DNA sequence: CACTTTGCCTAAAGTCTATAGGTTTGAGCA
DNA sequence: TGCTCAAACCTATAGACTTTAGGCAAAGTG
């Protein structure tokens, strides 16, 4: 019988697409197998189970976002760079909710080291350079940036804003303006 | 044989405790039943399944946090109120990670209306009153507040900060100071 | 062409969810 | 006290998912 041409990469990609469609927690090894027209047990030669599958989706998402975010900020600085940076996450999360959810999974130190997580922080630091936030203050500012952007994206995606009135796009630019203002006048180290 | 004295409330409470221990996505109806020394099927008279169980945990968490947050801000204003408000979420999330995760679940409009979600927004608006952020600007500021606090708590809990250097408590006060400064000088409507 | 590896299969054990229907318990009441 | 009835809990069952073990056949290799 014809082989389906499976590989860890293809399996992960299919699982990621499935996660975007039905939600990360609804990703089943059996369903991924069905998608390939293959028996469930066959996937276990390529990935070591459903936990492994989710982890691989996370690494894929972190990689894809790192590529996008790196590309988005080249040639930009200040508010312009900040907006491009943040928009990547928001746009990605809307287009790929399952992948984005996976990227928030807790990774053990070893896996995290192997991931593209550090690239995200590096891009954030590059943006801060345009604001003259340096030295010991950088980590704090990076965390603030990450918290606000990630929090907004998560809440918006989770429907946390859909119950109240104003358009979320308006709030989004307001939030970015606020972050911009904050970084412009970042306080001196205590 | 002695009855276990089940009820939707007791089942939900036990499930919430289990979620805090093993993670929300590891909550099994069968495991909750085991905890009561009861057969799995018996729980279906009290809750209508695992989805229902998670939803009930979410409502419980939203209620508990609403109580805490309401109590925390009475008699406070400005930076003081902001800090007390934010600390409730951070402390709660650390003590009850499963409950907190449940509180982020997407609720349909009907369930959301029945939840204590609106109370959280009301407390946030009360804090803004101390900063003279009013009218059409309030929703934007509420969303910024929620995004940053929720994002920070989520990232910290998810281990997103544990790979880099400085103490997260320091960053936390820095973030709150930043939000305080931001609200103090909130821009006029465009 | 023989040989090895790889890819996918069948088989099976174990766990979970969920439904249907039966039995026991205990509170209220004549 | 003894009856009734609803609630609480049970057994049985069906279907789905996960994961391991071992087998055959198709693709690459010398």
Q: Do A147 and B143 touch (CB under 8 A)?
A: no
Residue B99 resides in a domain:
yes
Between the alpha carbon of residue A51 and those of residues A63, B21, B131, B149, B159, the distances in Å are 19, 18, 46, 29, 18
pLDDT of B78 over the 70 cut: yes
The neighbour count for residue B158, using CB atoms within 10 Å, is 16
Query: In this structure, is the CB of residue B42 within 7 Å of any atom belonging to strand C?
Result: no
Residue B45 resides in a domain:
no
Q: Whole-number mean pLDDT of chain A?
A: 93
Q: Whole-number mean pLDDT of chain B?
A: 93
Arithmetic mean of pLDDT, A96-120: 95
**Model pLDDT, residue B189:** 60
**Model pLDDT, residue B163:** 66
**Model pLDDT, residue B190:** 53
Residue B120 and residue B65 in contact, taking contact as beta carbons nearer than 8 Å: yes
Alpha-carbon gap, residue A112 to A109, rounded angstroms: 5
3-state SS, residue B189: coil
Alpha-carbon gap, residue A148 to B147, rounded angstroms: 5
First CA to last CA across chain B, in angstroms? 70
Inform me whether the C-beta atom of residue A122 falls under 8 Å from chain B C-beta atoms.
no
- Chain A residues 22 to 51 with C-beta below 7 Å from nucleic strand C: 37-39, 41-42, 45-46
Strand C positions closer than 7 A to protein CB: 7-12, 15-21, 24-26
**Residue whose C-alpha is closest to residue A56's, from A120, A118, A7:** A7
Work out the pLDDT band at B32, boundaries 50, 70, 90: very high
Alpha-carbon gap, residue A42 to A49, rounded angstroms: 11
Q: Do B160 and A148 touch (CB under 8 A)?
A: no
Residue A2 resides in a domain:
no
Minimal CA separation from B4 to chain A, in Å: 32
Range of the domain at B163: 58-184
The ipTM of this complex is 0.91
At A133-180, the pLDDT tens digits run: 988 899 999 999 999 999 999 999 998 887 667 888 999 999 999 999
CATH code, domain carrying A138: 1.10.357.10
pLDDT of A190 over the 80 cut: no
Residue B174 resides in a domain:
yes
Residue B33 resides in a domain:
no
Q: Give one word for B164, left, alpha or beta, with left for phi > 0 and alpha for psi -120 to 50.
A: beta
**Model pLDDT, residue B51:** 95
What count of residues does chain A have?
190
Between the alpha carbon of residue B149 and those of residues A95, B163, B168, B173, the distances in Å are 24, 20, 13, 11
Inform me whether the C-beta atom of residue B78 falls under 8 Å from chain A C-beta atoms.
no
- Chain A residues 16 to 55 with C-beta below 7 Å from nucleic strand D: 28-31, 40-41, 44, 48-51
Arithmetic mean of pLDDT, B12-21: 97
Minimal CA separation from A53 to chain B, in Å: 15
- Higher-pLDDT residue of B144 and B186 is B144
Residue B177 and residue A187 in contact, taking contact as beta carbons nearer than 8 Å: yes
At A9-49, the pLDDT tens digits run: 999 999 999 999 999 999 999 999 999 999 999 999 999 99
Work out the pLDDT band at B91, boundaries 50, 70, 90: very high
Distance of CA B141 to the CA centre of its chain: 19
**Model pLDDT, residue B2:** 63
Residue B190 resides in a domain:
no
pLDDT of B150 over the 80 cut: yes
pLDDT of B188 over the 70 cut: no
How many structural domains is chain A composed of?
1
Inform me whether the C-beta atom of residue B165 falls under 8 Å from chain A C-beta atoms.
yes
Strand extents, DSSP E, chain A: none
pLDDT of A57 over the 70 cut: yes
At A66-91, the pLDDT tens digits run: 999 999 999 999 999 999 999 999 99
Residue A3 resides in a domain:
no
Residue B42 resides in a domain:
no
Q: What percent of chain B has pLDDT over 90?
A: 86
Residue A81 and residue A53 in contact, taking contact as beta carbons nearer than 8 Å: no
Arithmetic mean of pLDDT, A124-135: 92
Query: In this structure, is the CB of residue A143 within 7 Å of any atom belonging to strand D?
Result: no
Tokens coding B48 = 């209508």
**Residue whose C-alpha is closest to residue B17's, from B92, B103, B96, B94:** B96
């Amino acid at each position: 019988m014809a082989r389906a041409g499976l590989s860890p990469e293809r399996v992960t990609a299919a699982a990621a697409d499935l996660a975007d469609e039905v939600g990360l927690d609804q990703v089943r090894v059996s369903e991924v197998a069905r998608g390939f027209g293959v028996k469930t047990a066959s996937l276990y030669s390529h990935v070591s189970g459903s936990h492994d599958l989710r982890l691989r989706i996370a690494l894929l998402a972190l990689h894809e976002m790192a590529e996008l975010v790196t590309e988005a900020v080249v040639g930009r600085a200040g508010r312009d760079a900040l907006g491009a940076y943040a928009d990547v996450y928001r746009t990605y999360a809307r287009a790929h909710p399952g992948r984005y959810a996976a990227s928030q999974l807790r990774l053990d130190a070893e896996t995290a080291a192997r991931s593209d997580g550090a690239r995200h922080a590096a891009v954030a630091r590059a943006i801060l350079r345009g604001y003259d936030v340096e030295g010991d203050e950088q980590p704090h500012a990076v965390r603030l940036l990450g918290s606000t952007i990630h929090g907004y994206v998560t809440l918006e995606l989770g429907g946390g804003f859909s119950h109240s009135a104003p358009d979320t796009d308006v709030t989004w630019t307001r939030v970015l303006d606020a972050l911009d203002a904050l970084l412009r006048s970042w306080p001196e180290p205590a």
